[in-house]
Amino acid sequence: MAETTPHLAPIVVLLFLGAVFLTGVSLLLLLYGAARRSKRYARIGGGSALAVVACYALLLCGVSLASSETRRTAVKNVSLSSVIRSFASAGMTCR
């Protein structure tokens, strides 16, 4: 593994690919249930797809908020003039 690669990068990639795969299978089950007019399969497929996406989003947001990089950048002081300059384009004037 390269020196600059985070140690958990392969696990994150596998988690993402697993979530995409499970969501795809769940959506196929939902389509199968809709085609067969089976409430049972459609409900299982839709519910599992929603659960996979919700769990992945919850995990992603939780890890993002808990990371040390988020805490460091939140404390960083930014002056108002630098914010105004970053939003101003060459043709705009700030008064």
Cα–Cα distance measured from residue 71 to residue 61, given in angstroms and rounded to the nearest whole number? 14
> How many other CB atoms sit within 10 Å of the CB of residue 26?
20
Report yes or no: 31 and 45 within 8 Å, Cβ to Cβ. Answer: yes
> How many other CB atoms sit within 10 Å of the CB of residue 60?
14
What confidence tens digit (pLDDT) does each residue in 11-52 have?
989 999 999 999 999 999 999 999 999 999 999 999 999 999
Cα–Cα distance measured from residue 12 to residue 15, given in angstroms and rounded to the nearest whole number? 5
Report yes or no: 43 and 37 within 8 Å, Cβ to Cβ. Answer: no
What confidence tens digit (pLDDT) does each residue in 69-93 have?
755 555 455 555 555 565 655 555 5
